[in-house]
Structure 1
């Protein structure tokens, strides 16, 4: 652990020490794949960190898109955050019920909107509970809070931009899916998608960035993971995964090692794997 940083990652000790800060806002951003058999909202209602609000990744999204949970338009983000009492001047801490799985997606969403006082809780709710820290089942009292956003277009990529980057080799494309899905040896959980990966991409399974306890590896170990995968950190990076959720864990890891020129491919494999005119690579090579 490189120490607490309220712009990237904070420990359970840090959160416990700041739990009563008036300008702290805690978000439960739990989200699960269907095969996990878990209900994020029901789990939130049963137990959450005191004061936490529930951030619904599927609802706070661009629902005009046929793709899953694409980044919300700024006006929808503003509307939902105001209603949740999250606004300017707040320090936001995001966690999830898997440890470190979906929380980074919400951290990235805030950064996309120009909000940088936001951190992921390292180890998430499992670590918080394992340490016997307080939980509650009552939703917090919400008061509207003004929020201003400034969308950072450089933090997000669309399919055209990713296709150009893959063709030119101008970026490192980093895929957070499992080695089996990356290689095309395992079927995709979403029906109708081809198997494999974007040509030239490198596989950085998100679990490889985490230690046995589910917390993120320290920066020097993160650098070793990228080096072992042959990542050229002098190039700008584009992250991808199945639908743009776990890709954000790579963005968080890059930020932790001081690399700031990274973006997320929001459509990810849910989009790329759908279109037959986009090339697909298989096996373990880029």
Structure 2
């Protein structure tokens, strides 16, 4: 485990345990729509030996018009056991950006009742920089056995957020860039106006990472929330553009000892597309 967080594992530890039958490695890379990159193709070109690819837009609520919304527990169990994941395994997730989409998949597994799920500290960039093994060999598919138990309290919907913005006991914290939150920079999704939920605070997820896309130390993480005016004694609901990088904030808040948490699954993509959502801009 890493000294940065109990939810991080070191690259050295993972390399030593790649052949452990109870360890399963997951490539959870995801890119924004405007990045024009294919995460699955990049996985097939090179990945950590034995890793499987988790497509968070495929193991999702496919009836929703919103991206990668949380599926039902049955849909999630069906999807992950087809990847070969079973209850009782230790799941290690990484992404190609260091720390961006992997926390969303970590949060999803946690929300589905899995406690033994971790994130590779430094992600694939650190793994590559250290000269650790990569392969383009396909990982053999096998059927897993998985039962999911959805923790409904961890997930917030639009109605929850309409109440939350008027609740003095709740802080809403947005992981998007400051310009998008202020409404002065465009959103990456076409035809979606930028801005913020009334009363929300802004902690861009990139502010929580060092130059190598690794978490900063615990004191610096806590101070960043304090500097943003976040009252850490209150319940905190994290949000972002589509519910992905909000999970970076959730990971960090858990790391600094704050456990009264929710995540707005639809996030700004849902909020800004609904006429009944109040919006503030500078």
Give the TM bin, normalised by the shorter chain.
Answer: over 0.9
TM-score, L = length of structure 2 = 0.96
Q: Please, which runs of 5 or more residues in structure 1 have no aligned partner?
A: none
Per mean C-alpha deviation after superposition, the further-off stretch among 104-113 and 75-84 is 75-84
Alpha-carbon offset, residue 4 of structure 1: 6.7
Distance 2:160 2:89 in 1: 33
Alpha-carbon offset, residue 145 of structure 1: 2.1
Structure-1 residue corresponding to 2:163: 164
Change (3 A) 1:97 1:168: same
Distance 1:207 1:243 in 2: 16
CA contact (8 A) 2:156 2:263 kept: yes
Structure-2 residue corresponding to 1:250: 249
Alpha-carbon offset, residue 76 of structure 1: 1.3
TM-score, L = length of structure 1 = 0.95
Structure-2 residue corresponding to 1:38: 37
Alpha-carbon offset, residue 127 of structure 1: 1.1
| 2:102 is equivalent to residue 97 of structure 1 | no
Distance 1:208 1:2 in 2: 20
Alpha-carbon offset, residue 18 of structure 1: 2.0
Where 1:168 maps in the other structure, the secondary structure is coil
Alpha-carbon offset, residue 138 of structure 1: 1.2
Distance 2:18 2:170 in 1: 40
Structure-2 residue corresponding to 1:262: 261
Structure-1 residue corresponding to 2:3: 3
Change (3 A) 1:2 1:21: closer
Structure-2 residue corresponding to 1:13: 12
Tell me which stretches of 4 or more aligned residues in structure 1 moved more than 4 Å.
none
Q: Please, which runs of 5 or more residues in structure 2 have no aligned partner?
A: none
1:154-211, CA deviations, whole angstroms, 9 ceiling, x for partnerless residues?
1100011011010123211110000100000011122232321001111010001101
Change (3 A) 1:2 1:54: closer
1:210-232, CA deviations, whole angstroms, 9 ceiling, x for partnerless residues?
01111011212111111111111
What is the count of residue pairs matched by the alignment? 282
Aligned-residue CA RMSD (Å): 1.4
Distance 1:2 1:262 in 2: 23
Structure-2 residue corresponding to 1:107: 106
CA contact (8 A) 1:2 1:219 kept: no
